[in-house]
Structure 1
């Protein structure tokens, strides 16, 4: 009788990192290593020769275009963050629209009915489910404490076996945020961002996958919604952006657009760290453009699961002293 030889599973040794088991939120989507690589995946599958991108976007989206020699044309957005489409979309071309701050789902629904070859960038809208037959990608680290990871919704796949990425060398900023503080980890965070540049398309790492499986997504979503609604109640009268939150929407931040610049720096000086979306836009557009104004004046107030209404109250009180 033959004895079947199976690969030996290690038994014993030191106790490994213990992560809570759970479910993946986007379990039916393709897990990849980065959002920009998810876009590259789409471009490879669809074989587009031209892409229309908004001026108001992150320059990392250009990376796959350089790799694949895909031409790019930029378009503007209006003061409601909707695309200004005053051109014909060429054949073999695609049109990318960003779900800004997770608040533009209605616009995406309209575009899906009228725009051929639409690609939805849901990097700022993790909880938004993809529309059927609309290529859509997500970025995990914009919403959760992982160093990488993305999801892709696409009907076709590449006929290649993707290697699995490794994340262990990109965790120092996350560990420092716990053992030290978030400021001590910022330099490592910047280095991690650099490490994600020009990487091959790979499967999401096991480490990021397991962390994402242990998240209480319902609780995270509810906290974001409550924090957003509180800020909107207290700041809407000052906000030049007239955006509302649909009942099911889970925003990334509260986008506060003010008529004056310089408030971001004053908030950062008081340890309210607000990101700029996106510094590269300054070099792409004219100074009198709406995109230039957005980049300088929009304050992305954090609303994520780390914070509660007391924290929102602190931000509102500080803003009231500055405005």
Structure 2
């Protein structure tokens, strides 16, 4: 008698396209979150101390604490680059954040200096390339509607076969609600589901998140983001305190650095245009005299993503103009 172990029949699952055979960075190690992608990289190297920027999210500390790795902070300048190049001692590595996805060229220059002791945080730069030498981490949920996931490139994959696969369905409520309701109705779900990623054990990416990524047209998304970024830049570059150029793969947002940030942020919020603060923890790590404090306070990450076009960009520009 045949003892079938596969379920046949029953109710339908969510229908997702599998026409695409690849998605961006599917050749990396697919994990269950960006911070666990960093943990994977750190676990694959003999690191005694990691240099990290003050201007970064405090979630970067989670894998360092879990692995009991010492860390020190470094400062950046107004162009989001190292204030001065660190001379690394034996066992020391340095992490650099590809801010807003606009620092690809600078990442290349850092890789020439630090080689395999550079870890690039590409959470805000999903489209950026992987090159020989440095390690890289990516977080697809910063760019597309997936519940979780992280991707690591460390030169080693020995840990991959030892990890169990994650399960993601319980972290999808905010994604599903946004189809039927406005974004503000699902914001609490988004926050709660994001909290669920904290201190998660390192696992491989869930089947659901993989299926979602396979169903996405990443090339079309890239075209829309670049078009929206250029449109905002053409209208804002004269007043933007950041010196931006187009030498990058694809940005996450348009970073608008302005002394009038608080006033403009309030106007945007009043008009239901939501911009994040990257990152609130910096207000505890730094003083008001520090540049990082000013960057966190005065950079407005304007949305340019694939849901929007020139009509929405014009609305943003009109609100900024007052």
Match of 1:100 in 2: 99
For residue 84 of structure 1, report the CA deviation from its aligned partner.
1.8
Q: SS of the counterpart of 1:115?
A: helix
Alignment of 1:139-218 (within 5 A): 139-159=139-159, 161-218=162-219
Given that 1:112 and 1:134 are in contact with CA atoms closer than 8 Å, whether structure 2 keeps it comes out as: yes
Match of 1:89 in 2: 88
Q: Which deviates more from structure 2 when the two are superposed, residues 13-22 or residues 139-148?
A: 13-22
Tell me, in whole angstroms, the C-alpha distance in 2 between the residues paired with 1:94 and 1:6: 53
Tell me, in whole angstroms, the C-alpha distance in 1 between the residues paired with 2:297 and 2:28: 35
> How big is each residue's C-alpha offset from its partner over 1:202-229, in whole Å with a ceiling of 9 and x where there is no partner?
0011111100100011100000000000
Tell me, in whole angstroms, the C-alpha distance in 1 between the residues paired with 2:215 and 2:304: 21
- Runs of 4 or more, structure 1, over 6 Å off, are none
Match of 1:17 in 2: 14
Match of 1:301 in 2: 302
**Length, aligned pairs only:** 317
Tell me, in whole angstroms, the C-alpha distance in 2 between the residues paired with 1:153 and 1:7: 38
Q: SS of the counterpart of 2:185?
A: coil
Tell me, in whole angstroms, the C-alpha distance in 1 between the residues paired with 2:35 and 2:10: 38
Q: TM-score with structure 2 length normalisation?
A: 0.95
Which of 5, 9, 13 is 1:8 aligned to? Answer: 5
Given that 2:56 and 2:278 are in contact with CA atoms closer than 8 Å, whether structure 1 keeps it comes out as: yes
Match of 1:226 in 2: 227
Given that 1:58 and 1:277 are in contact with CA atoms closer than 8 Å, whether structure 2 keeps it comes out as: yes
Tell me, in whole angstroms, the C-alpha distance in 1 between the residues paired with 2:196 and 2:13: 25
For residue 86 of structure 1, report the CA deviation from its aligned partner.
5.1
Q: SS of the counterpart of 1:91?
A: coil
Tell me, in whole angstroms, the C-alpha distance in 2 between the residues paired with 1:251 and 1:26: 16
User: What value does the CA root-mean-square deviation take over the aligned residues?
Assistant: 1.4
Match of 1:79 in 2: 78
Match of 1:261 in 2: 261
Tell me, in whole angstroms, the C-alpha distance in 1 between the residues paired with 2:96 and 2:82: 8
For residue 24 of structure 1, report the CA deviation from its aligned partner.
1.8
> How big is each residue's C-alpha offset from its partner over 1:10-60, in whole Å with a ceiling of 9 and x where there is no partner?
332222211011232212111101111111111111020100000000000
Given that 2:31 and 2:149 are in contact with CA atoms closer than 8 Å, whether structure 1 keeps it comes out as: yes
Match of 1:123 in 2: 123
Match of 2:289 in 1: 288
Match of 1:312 in 2: 313
Given that 2:79 and 2:243 are in contact with CA atoms closer than 8 Å, whether structure 1 keeps it comes out as: yes
Q: Which runs of 5+ in 2 are unaligned?
A: none
Q: TM-score with structure 1 length normalisation?
A: 0.95
For residue 85 of structure 1, report the CA deviation from its aligned partner.
2.7
Q: Which deviates more from structure 2 when the two are superposed, residues 176-185 or residues 256-265?
A: 256-265
Q: Which deviates more from structure 2 when the two are superposed, residues 25-34 or residues 258-267?
A: 258-267
Match of 1:114 in 2: 113
Q: SS of the counterpart of 1:120?
A: strand
Tell me, in whole angstroms, the C-alpha distance in 2 between the residues paired with 1:225 and 1:269: 27
Given that 2:261 and 2:300 are in contact with CA atoms closer than 8 Å, whether structure 1 keeps it comes out as: no
Q: SS of the counterpart of 1:166?
A: coil
Q: Which runs of 5+ in 1 are unaligned?
A: none
